Structure 1
């Protein structure tokens, strides 16, 4: 494009929300500026495209200053008061904290990739505590101790550890469930699994 602009920048300038979403999902460079230094987020804020700005922020768009000021400054300068106020309120949010923008698929992807529930201000978990919608529900479920119901929301290392421990408990049960005495041991092993396994697996498992 002329001036070094990208398709993402053009979509943000024109407020084409679904086009922006498709480009971001396809891996478009979210902070790539044109030759003048205009970033996609700055362009969205300059033109008052509130939903586009929220979507970009939920993908981690930088709010650093451009040659024309910060996204927050240009929103104020152009009279987009609601957008400017939101930019102030969301300064400390991580991508996972953008509950109003996140789809269930996007929230799941962030959780499975290891996004923290406890970073940012306020944290994603704090925002989700009383929040409605699928993203908030997924975050609350992911914050609970590991269980088969939350397994899919844990990062890959934690899921691998869970699979290993479940297999080990199953093998213990199978090994000792041979007679009446063994059955007692087998049941104890399964009870141990149900009671303790959730605390042996954390989202931070390496």
Structure 2
């Protein structure tokens, strides 16, 4: 490190989006500042790197004041009007709301880790309504009632509960050994059970 500058900080200074994405995916500390207090996001805004700022923000980069001011102030002071405008517009976003920046893999990871669809302003679900792209489609799918098709987008606890309840349904079905005459009723019972699961399993506990 030079004066506390991490590889992420240097990549943000130079605007190397692909390298920044790799570093963040590998767990680089998004808010780690240099010795003088300058953060990666502040440097990106100082240099006018809009896509870098979006990517850092999608990983939860802090917009708090540094010894050099806030990232928004840095963008304004350097005349980066488009970047400053985006920072204003996205002030209330959670990481999941950064739909234009998120890859499908990252959106899936956030959804599976329990990211809320209803927090922030505007919320991720509101931003995804009618939006294009894979991330928006995943958010809309995750907002639906639980089903086998949406199972993979639910948090770990909800997926475990779904697996347990589905297994219980099949065990009940097998225990009663429905014959061919009762097969149709058995299938109907299983289908009914899956419909009920949609209301029994929720992705958010609050």
Same structural fold, with TM-score higher than 0.5 when normalized by the shorter chain: yes
Measured on the aligned residues, the alpha-carbon RMSD in Å equals 1.6
Q: Number of paired residues?
A: 206
Distance 1:94 1:119 in 2: 7
The SS at the match of 1:101 is: coil
1:7-156 pair list within 5 angstroms: 7-156=7-156
Report the TM-score when normalising by structure 2.
0.95
2:41, 2:71 within 8 Å by CA — same for their partners in 1? yes
Contact 1:146 1:198 in 2 (8 A): yes
Q: CA deviation at 1:186?
A: 2.8
Structure 1 residue ranges without an equivalent (≥5): none
Contact kept? 1:176, 1:186, Cα under 8 Å: no
**1:2, distance to aligned residue in structure 2 (A):** 1.8
Q: 1: distance between equivalents of 2:205 and 2:168?
A: 18
Equivalent-residue separation in structure 2 for 1:176 and 1:205 (angstroms): 34
Q: What are the superposed Cα offsets for residues 117-161 of structure 1, whole Å, 9 maximum, x if unpaired?
A: 000000000000110000000000000000111110001110000
Q: Which stretches in structure 2 are left out of the alignment for 5+ residues?
A: none
Is the contact made by 1:111 and 1:153 (CA closer than 8 Å) also made in structure 2? Answer: yes
Q: Which residue of 1 aligns with 2:193?
A: 193
List structure 1 runs of 4+ shifted beyond 6 angstroms. none
How far apart are residue 179 of structure 1 and its match? 3.8
